[in-house]
Amino acid sequence: MLLESLVAGRPSIALTIDDTPLNFFSPKIAYKSYVHFEGIEDLSNFLIIDDLLDFPEAFQNLRARKNQMSTDDKLTYYVDVETPATLTRILGE
């Protein structure tokens, strides 16, 4: 859902807490190990926090940023905004 919200131009904050004793797929493990999150911290409308107490400051910081997602060069790593992807084209590549 993070990538979808960023593509839609919505600023987002991810809370990457470590709750591994309770959850093997904790947000911290997912963020550090899932390949599709590599470089996501470089996107202009996205912040990562690992402590819920940091949320108010992160929220204010994100609100102060200009919404640049439609022109963010780093977004093209995740989605091709110029050429719509069709299943036929994807399978052909």
pLDDT at 66: 62
In eight-state DSSP terms, residue 15 is: E
Q: Does the pLDDT value for residue 80 go beyond 80? A: no
pLDDT at 53: 93
Are the beta carbons of 40 and 34 closer than 8 angstroms?
A: no
CA nearest neighbour of 30 among 16, 50, 47? 16
Which domain covers residue 20, as residue numbers? 2-92
- Band of residue 91 on the pLDDT scale cut at 50, 70, 90: low
As for how many domains the chain has, the answer is 1
